[in-house]
Amino acid sequence: MLVPLVLAQFLCSFAATTMNVAISDIARDLGTTVGGIQTAITAFTLTMAALMIPGSKLTDIWGRRFCFRVGLLVYGAGALTAAISQGLFGLMAGYSLGQGVGTALLIPPVYILATVFYDDMTARARAFGAISAAGGVGSAAGPLIGGLITSAASWRLAFGAQALLVVVILYLARRIQDPGVQGPKPRFDFVGAILSAAGLFFIVIGILQAGTYGWFRASQDFVIGSTVLIPEGSISPVWLLVLIGALLLLWFFRHIRSMERAGEEPLLASRMFRNRVSNLGLVTQHIQWLVLLGLSFVISVFLQTVRGYSAIETGLMLTPATIGVLLSSMAAERMASRRYQATLIRAGFVLTIAGMALLLLLAPGTSGVLPFVPSLLLVGFGVGMMLTASVNVVQSSFSEADQGEISGLSRSVSNLGSSLGVAIAGTVIVSSRVSQPNEGYALAVTVLLVFAVVGLIAAMLLPKAPIETPAQ
198 and 137 within one domain? no
pLDDT given at position 456 = 92
**Which residues make Cβ contacts (< 8 Å) with residue 388, sequence separation at least 6?**
125, 128, 129, 132, 133, 328, 329, 332, 336, 344
Task: Show the domain range for 435.
Answer: 2-188+267-460
Provide the H-helix boundaries in 173-275.
190-208, 210-213, 237-261
193 and 155 within one domain? no
pLDDT digits (tens, 9 = 90+) for 12-58: 888 877 776 676 677 778 888 766 776 777 778 778 878 888 887 78
- In three-state secondary structure terms, 194 is helix
Q: Look at the alpha carbons of 253, 96, 57, 185 in this order and tell me if their dihedral is positive or negative.
A: positive
Asked if 33 contacts 135 with a C-beta cutoff of 8 angstroms, the reply is no
In a domain, 9, yes or no: yes
In a domain, 253, yes or no: yes
In a domain, 469, yes or no: no
DSSP string, 128-185: HHHHHHHHHHHHHHHHHHHHHHHHHS-HHHHHHHHHHHHHHHHHHGGG-------SSP
- In three-state secondary structure terms, 443 is helix
Cα 90 to Cα 97: distance, rounded to the nearest angstrom: 10
In a domain, 209, yes or no: yes
> Among residues 212, 243, 266, which one ends one of the domains?
266
Cα 219 to Cα 217: distance, rounded to the nearest angstrom: 6
pLDDT given at position 471 = 40
Could you give the number of structural domains in the chain? 2
Cα 337 to Cα 121: distance, rounded to the nearest angstrom: 8
Asked if 267 contacts 394 with a C-beta cutoff of 8 angstroms, the reply is no
33 and 141 within one domain? yes
238 and 204 within one domain? yes
In a domain, 465, yes or no: no
In a domain, 468, yes or no: no
- Tell whether the model's pLDDT for residue 288 goes beyond 60: yes
Better pLDDT: 454 or 267: 454
* Closest-CA residue to 256 (of 403, 49, 414, 54): 54
Rounded average pLDDT over 80-102: 89
271 and 256 within one domain? no
pLDDT digits (tens, 9 = 90+) for 115-157: 777 766 667 767 777 787 777 677 767 777 877 887 777 888 8
200 and 182 within one domain? no
In a domain, 471, yes or no: no
174 and 45 within one domain? yes
Asked if 320 contacts 132 with a C-beta cutoff of 8 angstroms, the reply is no
> Among residues 266, 281, 309, which one ends one of the domains?
266
- In three-state secondary structure terms, 46 is helix
229 and 183 within one domain? no
- What does pLDDT average to over the chain? 80
Cα 136 to Cα 13: distance, rounded to the nearest angstrom: 7
> Among residues 235, 266, 297, which one ends one of the domains?
266
In a domain, 467, yes or no: no
Cα 258 to Cα 169: distance, rounded to the nearest angstrom: 41
In this predicted structure, which of 110-114, 174-178, 220-224, 300-304 has the lowest mean pLDDT? 300-304
305 and 249 within one domain? no
- Tell whether the model's pLDDT for residue 431 goes beyond 60: no
pLDDT given at position 469 = 45
428 and 307 within one domain? yes
Band of residue 453 on the pLDDT scale cut at 50, 70, 90:
very high
196 and 145 within one domain? no
- Tell whether the model's pLDDT for residue 199 goes beyond 60: yes
pLDDT digits (tens, 9 = 90+) for 305-340: 677 776 677 777 777 887 887 787 777 667 766 777
Cα 50 to Cα 95: distance, rounded to the nearest angstrom: 15
pLDDT given at position 390 = 83
CATH number at residue 357: 1.20.1250.20
294 and 172 within one domain? yes
